Structure formats: C-alpha cells, structure tokens
Amino acid sequence: MTQQQTAQQIWNYLTNQGWTREAVAGVLGNMQSESGIIADRWESDNIGNMTGGYGLVQWTPATKYIHWAQQNGLVYQDVISQCKRLEWEVANGQQFYHPTMSFKQFTQSTQSPEALAEIFIKFYERPLDSNQPIRQTQARYWYNTLKANEKPKPTPSTEFKVGEIVTFTNIATNWVGGTKIGFFSMVRNFRVNRLNDDGTIYIRMMDDSWGSNVYERDIQRAPNNSIERNDVVKLRPQATHWVNGNAINIDNKTTRTFHVKARKGNQLLLYADSAGGWEVWTYDWDCILVSKFKVSKTPSYGNPNNIQANEKVTFGQNATKWKNYKGISSNVTIKLNEYNSVYNVLQRNADNTIRIQSQEDGTIHGWIKVSEAEKAPNNQFKRGDYVKLKASATHWVNGDAINIDNKTTRSFLVKTRIGNTLLVYSEAANGWQTWVYDWDVTK
C-alpha cells in the first residue's frame, strides 16, 4: 500500500468517526515524520525492538500499543487497528496531555491543519525538539490533497416528494441494481414511497402490489393525459396559474388555442401567436386536447439532420418567426394555424435557409432557418405504443445496420418522438433502446 493510500484509509476512518478534517490532517502531518505513514514501522527500522517506538505515531515503548492490540484481538500491524488505538486514547484521556484542551476537543477542532499539527507534536508526540515546522507543511498537504479527493456524500432526493405519481423518463432502462425495466413497467405510473439516504428513490405500483429502487434521473412526474408535442390545446376554466407561479391572466382564456412545443413530465410548453408570439410552461391537467399533430400526406424520408428540397417538415421547438414571409415581410410571427401544419421544402439555400410551403394551404409559404425545422412525422405513433419493424427497415437513425434476431416479429415500446424519429425500447438482453425512423415501423 502506498503512502497516499494509507493516508486515505486513515482519513476515511477517522472522519467517519467524527474527527474534523483539520484534526486528521494535523495527525497525518505528524505521522509522516514519525513513520512515513507506514503502520508496520519500527523505530530506526530495528524490527522487533520492543523498547523502541512502533507504528504510525511510534508508540514508545512498542509494547504499549502491541500488547493492547493483542489483548483486544486486533492485528497490531493493521492501519485500522492503530486508528482504533487512537480512538481508545481519546475515550480514555491517554497520551494527549494539553493544559486546556482534551484529546476529544482536539478531534473536534476546526483550527488550521498547521495549528493542530503543532498541538499534536507538543502535547501528544512530545519529542525533545518540538520545533519542526515541516510537520505543519505536511499537514496542509494532506488536508488539501485528501479533501480534494472527497466525493460529495449522497443525500435524499429533493426533486420528488413521498406520495407523488411518477413514470420513467426516456433515458431509463434499468432498476437500481441492473435489472432491466420490462414493458409492463416502462410506461406505467408509480407512487413515490420512500426517499433513500443514498439519493435513490423507492417507488411502488399504484395498486401497491410491488416496488423497487430507481435513480432520480430515471423518473419524472407522470403525465395526466396523452397530449404530445405539436398537438393543439386549450386551457380549462379551472386553470389559474402557470408553472412559474404567475396567474393566468389572458383574454379569451378558455377559447384561445395553443401549440404544444414540448412536454416534460406533467408540464407542457405552450406557444401563442399573439403579441409577437410568446410561450409559457403550464401543467398538463390544465389543458384540453383540441387536435393531434399533423402528419405528412406523402412519405417524409431522409436523414432528420439533413433537410433538403422535396422533403416534408414541420416547425421545430425553437421556431417563432418566419425569416421571410411570402417574399414580402421579414421576421413575421408564426401563427398557430401555420405551426400546426406540414410543409413541402421547395428550396434549400447555401446560407442554411429553406423555402417551405404548407401542404394544407398553399398560400402559406416563406423562408425559415434549417435549424428551426424538423422532418415531418409520417404517422401518429406516440409514447406507450407498441411497434414492430417493417421488413424493409435496414438501418437505425445512427446509421448502424439493423441486425437483430426476430427482426419483424420483435415488439418495441415507443418512449418518445422527435419529428419523424421514434425512440424505441426493447426489453431483450438487459434492456436497450435506439432511435428508428417512423416509416420503418408498424403497429
């Protein structure tokens, strides 16, 4: 074991026993001069000399510590055995003799590592020459080094509360411990039953039949309906506040329509085309579905990140204005009926803009940035649907060949949709997921 590994072991043990970091560093600065932080170290390397010093702090005579260790059934060469001797000395007021500070008070002190290293040499080690500033330098080194190595201790989740209803996120594939999440569980709702001290969360089925532990990152508050991105909605009369806490104070509150730009758990990002266009997060229980998202009337193929002429697109989440509308006006706010449409790409320019025309209303056309568009969906598959691959499917979205057993008979669970791509989950092996084009799957 290296010097740093031994120092780390001492640091971990004593800080877990309640010692301050400063006190442990002060002791380590002394141990480095006494023994090189080597537990099985005899004074002057005279092995077996029971009248000389021995161990991390060089107990003298060696029998003072060795006999104690043997009487207590401890291996005297062991690092932790010697830390336990220090703990015994703290509890029994041994070895450390200071006129105004007990050994226990020393272990709780937050004075600097340098100050505590000096106290330890004068009132514990007590050599003939106690003027050894190198021990203070060493104490500071160990304090800085080992404190920097510390990982934040996990704490119970503050994101969720006991009793909340949750479901799995798009990234979830396994329970804590590695067991795969089956189809049965992936899109079901669970109730938070306990917030564990290590940051994991224990959730149980809604009927309380069984439960297991999950990581905080793998769950989200359960949606209250099937409203999705690009759907059109209205607010319920009972809706009173947006997610940010502001009161809902708008004209035509229950008749105005909104475009859903995104969903996160039980929250929806709504877009309105009034007043230059604005958006806000609301709770899904405050919304009523007006219409589902539009799909392409003709197949919309191609790489979702490489939009070209003759392809089908919709507005992306970050789109709010036309770059040029109908060749007449610039920076025109996108209206709700324009958002809720599929467009034919008529032209792509070198400046990464595209000219688009609505497939529902040919009078709606103009220029937008490529980054503000996404490939149009070819169907309305959504989260929770079960799909299979078509025989014609050859590649996943990432370009890898589709090379799996039972290709056309294996079932996948749809976890989410972006444009014309679906994140599908398989419970085979240990559970895995991948993106696929929507035209490559069937119900």
Overall average pLDDT of the 283-298 stretch = 87
CATH number at residue 216: 2.30.30
Do 69 and 134 lie in one domain? The reply is yes
Pair of tokens at residue 389: 């691959």
189-236 pLDDT, tens digit each: 999 999 999 999 999 999 999 999 999 999 999 989 889 888 999 999
Task: Tell me whether residue 155 is in a domain.
Answer: no
**How many whole angstroms separate alpha carbon 396 and alpha carbon 403?**
10
Do 11 and 120 lie in one domain? The reply is yes
Pair of tokens at residue 87: 């703990």
3-14 pLDDT, tens digit each: 999 999 999 999
Do 190 and 244 lie in one domain? The reply is no
The DSSP H or E segment spanning 288 is strand 287-291
**How many whole angstroms separate alpha carbon 432 and alpha carbon 43?**
59
Q: What is the pLDDT of residue 375?
A: 87
pLDDT confidence band for 52 (50 / 70 / 90): very high
Domain that holds residue 203: 165-221
Q: Count how many domains the chain has.
A: 5
Please answer whether residues 368 and 353 qualify as being in contact, where contact means their C-beta atoms are separated by less than 8 angstroms: yes
pLDDT confidence band for 339 (50 / 70 / 90): confident
CATH number at residue 53: 1.10.530.10
Do 16 and 127 lie in one domain? The reply is yes
Please answer whether residues 157 and 199 qualify as being in contact, where contact means their C-beta atoms are separated by less than 8 angstroms: yes
The DSSP H or E segment spanning 14 is helix 3-16
Please answer whether residues 345 and 313 qualify as being in contact, where contact means their C-beta atoms are separated by less than 8 angstroms: yes
Overall average pLDDT of the 360-388 stretch = 90
Residues in the chain: 443
Do 101 and 141 lie in one domain? The reply is yes
Q: What is the pLDDT of residue 299?
A: 64
**How many whole angstroms separate alpha carbon 173 and alpha carbon 427?**
8
CA 102, 107, 113 angle in degrees (round to 5)? 115
Pair of tokens at residue 198: 């290590």
Do 75 and 174 lie in one domain? The reply is no
Q: What is the pLDDT of residue 80?
A: 97
Q: Where are the alpha helices (DSSP H) in 121-266?
A: 134-149, 183-186
Q: How far apart are the first and last CA of the chain?
A: 60
